[in-house]
Amino acid sequence: MTDIPDLVDWLAAQPDLFETKKKLFGKSVIHKASGEKVVEGFRYFNSSIEELIAAFESGDLSAVQALEYALDEDGDPDTTSVALLLAYTKSGAFFAAQPEEHQDYVPVRVREPRFFPGSVALVAELDQSY
């Protein structure tokens, strides 16, 4: 088992920035400054996990966007073993991400989550979950 926290648990562990509300199924994380619910998403890549980690650790979200997205033969989003988990507010108040690799079909968090200030405008392109 990994000691690296899950993105949503990492957010919830910061009570000065986020509030957790229990729901019938699961929980909602609320960004205190904006009062908005945190939206969760993801993006799969055709790159190696090392390439994603290098782009992620640069702190430059455009470096992450420059990596090749996983697309099927019709050009629609697809899945691979390399993913970036996303958490953000729709207004752009904040954006955070965490790289993940599926090893033997099991998701493994490979880095601590981090905030990407000023990068929310790029979320619509990154988030393939909607």
Q: Render pLDDT for 66-119 as a digit per residue (tens, 0 to 9).
A: 999 999 999 999 999 999 999 999 888 889 999 999 999 899 999 999 998 876
Name every residue whose Cβ is closer than 8 Å to that of residue 112 and which is 6 or more positions away in sequence: 4, 5, 10, 98
* Burial status of residue 86 (CB atoms within 10 A of its CB: 0-12, 13-18, 19 or more): buried
Mean pLDDT value of segment 30-59: 95
Q: Can you give the pTM of this predicted structure?
A: 0.90
Please give the DSSP secondary-structure letter assigned to residue 122.
Answer: G
Instruction: Give tens-digit pLDDT for 16-28.
Output: 999 998 877 778 9
CA atoms within 13 A on the CB side of 55: 21
pLDDT-derived band at 48 (thresholds 50, 70, 90) equals: very high
